[in-house]
Amino acid sequence: MTTSAATTSLANLLHRQRDYWASGATPSLDFRLDRLKALRGAILKYQADIIDAVKQDLGRPEFEGYFEVGVISELDYVIKHLRRWVKPRKASLPLSQLPGSAWVQPEPRGVALIIGPWNYPFQLIVSPLMGAIAAGNCALLKPSELAPATSKVLAQLVEDTFDPAHVALVEGGVEAAQALLAEKFDHIFFTGGERVGKIVMQAAAQHLTPVTLELGGKSPCIVDADVNLEVAARRIVWGKFLNAGQTCVAPDYLLVDERVKDKLVAALQQRIQACYGDNPATSPDLSRVVNDRQFDRLVGLLNQGNILAGGGHDRGDRYIAPTLIDGIGWDDAIMQEEIFGPILPILTYRDLGDAIAAINQRPKPLALYLFTRDRQVQTQVLDRTTAGSVCINDVILQIAIWDLPFGGVGSSGLGSYHGKHSFDTFSHLKSVLKKPFWMDMDWRYPPYGDKVKLFQKFIGLS
């Protein structure tokens, strides 16, 4: 298909979606629930294909493949609570506004564009999609071309489940994304890196389109001296090397109290061996790096510091061993960008205040992790740092609590979603004030005369 033909086809698809939304079909609660339940059925139907696809794309073990299908947990939560979310939300009135009533009325935005990443290529398309459907929108999906097997399964699932006038999917690379971003949408939801996030925001600005940006960043993991080192090591190793480190909220680096550094390193080394064996290259439980470009970037980061574990790699298999590195400084290349791979730098601190200052000198992270029993330390870190989310004495699991908003802050993202927060993200929360005719005091109408004192009282000046 030529570029002009593709553009025409896209324009026609968007026209169909706008007409469908304007028809008033999508805001119906029964329609929303029906389509969400249809999506649930489709996930169950395609679950084996989804798991096989992420294995092709990322070498994902079956257990981790089910994290993609696990999006059904959030879907069930949305289906369960949607009837309550769509109801108007009562607002209180000041005495000066009585009699009357006020409320917030959620309404659909219209046609949403959802652009997904390659690292969790199914989950991170479907999770925002359920929010768009729950809020009563039409949606156009653009999965990552860097996970082609999953993109193909998604395309088939969407085609089998939805009228394309309601939900449709466009496959393709950079040109397809550029063509989509040139169009006017009512909301754009993007998950990916900061560089492309800026491009999305610039494109959205041309149409004053609201955006949600789920980005990333270097998520620190602080390990205090007052900690169960064995449990901490177990949880850190799982969170860091899950999906070969290609997780936006993975611990990016460790900041360890120097008093327990050696013991923690030993515990991490033992845990890596327990999880992936003496030769992790043969482990069935370790994912692979997504492509050669990412592989080469990550291998380039291995040429610094002292490797304490791992370091092995094989470009033909896109394999990099779970790796621990120390002897790293804040100015080294590995500390200048999100690692997004199975490499874990270990830095130390003597004073917690210095550790907090070092974190605060850098862009605000998507997640921050803290391992400590000390409540004063917990309070100090919570009060003096900023991050999209914080998890104390564990990693990653905070993003699977549907009552918690998931999103970044600053360069790690804009806006949030999950559960009701997804519903709100894809809704316009319309303010409504209703007044009766039976009382109409004249305090606000000219001639004003000596009404100034009365108005001062109304607004709290006297």
Q: What is the pLDDT of residues 353-407, one digit of tens each?
A: 999 999 999 999 999 999 999 999 999 999 999 999 999 999 999 999 999 999 9
In a domain, 9, yes or no: yes
In a domain, 197, yes or no: yes
Q: What is the pLDDT of residue 6?
A: 58
Task: Answer for the pair 286, 276: CB distance below 8 angstroms, yes or no.
Answer: yes
Q: What is the mean pLDDT of residues 134-144?
A: 97
Q: What is the pLDDT of residue 450?
A: 87
Q: 248 an active-site residue?
A: yes
Residue of 68, 74, 194, 248 marked catalytic: 248
In a domain, 341, yes or no: yes
One domain, residues 399 and 424:
no
One domain, residues 250 and 167:
no
One domain, residues 68 and 202:
yes
Residue of 64, 214, 338, 391 marked catalytic: 214
CATH of residue 324's domain is 3.40.309.10
* Phi, psi (degrees; rounded to nearest 5) at 112: -110, 145
Q: What percent of the chain has pLDDT over 90?
A: 92
Q: Print the domain residue range for 399.
A: 220-407
Per the prediction, the chain carries an average pLDDT of 95
Q: What is the mean pLDDT of residues 4-15?
A: 76
Query: Which tens digit of pLDDT belongs to each residue from 68-106?
Result: 999 999 999 999 999 999 999 999 998 888 899 999 999
Region of residue 416 (phi > 0: left; psi between -120 and 50: alpha; otherwise: beta): beta
One domain, residues 192 and 235:
no
Confidence of residue 454 (pLDDT cuts 50, 70, 90): confident
Question: Where do the H-state alpha helices sit in 309-451?
Answer: 352-360, 375-384, 420-425
Q: Is 246 helix (H, G, I), strand (E, B) or coil?
A: coil
One domain, residues 122 and 257:
no
CATH of residue 127's domain is 3.40.605.10
One domain, residues 250 and 361:
yes
The torsion angle over the Cα atoms of residues 354, 357, 362 and 365, rounded to 10 degrees, is 100
Number of domains in the chain: 2
Query: Which tens digit of pLDDT belongs to each residue from 22-48?
Result: 999 999 999 999 999 999 999 999 999
One domain, residues 349 and 421:
no
Q: Name the amino acid, one letter, at 422.
A: S
pLDDT greater than 50 at residue 1: no
**pTM, to two decimals:** 0.95
One domain, residues 284 and 370:
yes
Q: What is the mean pLDDT of residues 52-61?
A: 97
The greatest distance separating any two alpha carbons of the chain, rounded to the nearest whole angstrom, comes to 89
One domain, residues 158 and 199:
yes
In a domain, 439, yes or no: no
Query: Which tens digit of pLDDT belongs to each residue from 237-266?
Result: 999 999 999 999 999 999 999 999 999 999
One domain, residues 145 and 272:
no
Confidence of residue 302 (pLDDT cuts 50, 70, 90): very high
One domain, residues 78 and 194:
yes
Q: 221 an active-site residue?
A: no
Q: Is 430 helix (H, G, I), strand (E, B) or coil?
A: strand
